[in-house]
Amino acid sequence: MTEISSIPWACYKRLPARSSKISLQEKSSCPFCATEEATEIYRLDDFQFFEDQDGSNRALHRVVMCSLCGTLRCDPWYTPEGQAALFEKAGASYGHCDADERVRWILDNCGSSGRVVEIGCGEGTLLSKLPAGFQCAGIDSDPHLIRQAKERSPDIPFYCRSDLNYPELGQCDLILMFHVLEHLRSPLETLRALRAKVPDEARLVVEVPIVDSAIKYHGPDLTGFFSLAHFTHFSKFSLKRLLRRAGWNIIFQQDMEGYNGRRVIAVKGEVDETLPSRQEIMADIKTAQNYLKARDESLARMRRLIVRFSKESKILIWGAGHHTEHLDRSAGFFQSDCQYLIVDRDPLKKGTRVHGVPVVAPEGVPEELWKNGEEPIVISSYIWRGHIRDDLLRLGVAPERIVSFYD
């Protein structure tokens, strides 16, 4: 095996868990009916959020189903301080969006002009691509993203805040909330407040991932549908119920192709506080159970594949996000007698360590290892696996060295 002294290989060493100096999590109640009683359906203890600290950046990931209405949520959920601390190094760990597709869809379904407000605008990419007929404004709670948005599009007003107190809402024609509701601790209150502020003729576009499509798009993925970043895990029923309870009626709905997204257009309507039928609750229970079964089957296949690494002395891993922590906590990937190196393009990950293993950028790995090394290279990602494989091949890595758990 190729020996290159400049590579900082290291053994896996998980620090003992320690209590954080701040409160990271707290008990939650149902975002639909406010009930606390619930049944646990998924649990992962002592989950580390990205880089090694002192063992205090750990949390319980627990998904429950409300005993009264069947809504899926995380319990406990993060405190505001805990969320900021735990996700500080998230960076590029959470997906991406096709802004061009969203622009085409808006033009086809919502018209070619108007006053638009995007809640959860991120870097402002979507708003920057809308044609000149639109008057745009954006809001996001992430100051780093808002700074980037302002630099990208200085002519668009962007606001860094977590409330709805900004002037454009009172005059807007269209509100965009792409993959926002699932992150909110109080999505019902947000939708109600939004209804009270916008004009009567305004239309609301909402998109969320739904458990109904979880097997199709997340089935084998370790990180999967029950994301650590999502408070509410919607179904097509629970999304409709939440909107109606907040006084919004769906006039258009669509399941997106190629990824898990249910996109709807809603308008102001009567408030409907009806609880779900037993049939709807049972349907959601069955859907969630089927998804968890598919995930368990994938995990069993992954563990069988991991056995092949038992005699390896060195393994390179591409990916320093939550997928690698899932490999540790769910699949038992790491071995005490093996040395590892983690590669990641995200600048927030570079220079950190994950369970004692250094994280470096691809440029920090000698060309000789890419082209002439014999160590297996594990792709630790589901969403980005194709892009990572292409990167590895461009770097000259022999295809037989590349290992993906999802091929």
pLDDT in tens, 170-214: 899 999 999 999 999 999 999 999 999 999 999 999 999 999 999
125 and 49 in a single domain? The answer is no
149 and 138 in a single domain? The answer is yes
Residue 309: predicted pLDDT: 85
149 and 112 in a single domain? The answer is yes
Number of domains in the chain: 3
| Contact by Cβ (8 Å): 21, 322 | no
Q: Is 213 left (phi over 0), alpha (psi -120 to 50) or beta?
A: alpha
Domain of residue 343, CATH code: 3.40.50.720
The first and second tokens of residue 316, run together, are: 């390179």
140 and 151 in a single domain? The answer is yes
Please report which confidence band the pLDDT of residue 1 belongs to, taking 50, 70 and 90 as the band edges. very low
Last residue of a domain, one of 260, 295, 330: 295
Q: What is the pLDDT of residues 258-315, one digit of tens each?
A: 899 999 999 999 999 999 999 999 999 999 999 999 999 999 999 999 988 888 999 9
129 and 174 in a single domain? The answer is yes
354 assigned to some structural domain: yes
60 and 198 in a single domain? The answer is no
Per cent of the chain over pLDDT 90 is 87
2 assigned to some structural domain: no
301 assigned to some structural domain: no
161 assigned to some structural domain: yes
4 assigned to some structural domain: no
112 and 242 in a single domain? The answer is yes
Residues forming beta bridges with residue 317, ordered by sequence position: 342, 378
Question: Cα separation of 371 and 378, whole Å?
Answer: 16
Cα distance from N-terminal residue to C-terminal residue, the chain: 26
265 and 165 in a single domain? The answer is yes
Q: What is the value of pTM for the model shown?
A: 0.93
| Contact by Cβ (8 Å): 340, 10 | yes
For 46-57, letters b (16+ CB in 10 Å) and e give: ebbbbbbbeeeb
Residue 159 has pLDDT above 70, yes or no: yes
144 and 238 in a single domain? The answer is yes
117 and 167 in a single domain? The answer is yes
* Nearest residue to 275 (alpha-carbon basis) of 70, 72, 37: 70
229 and 371 in a single domain? The answer is no
Domain housing 60:
25-92+280-295
180 and 314 in a single domain? The answer is no
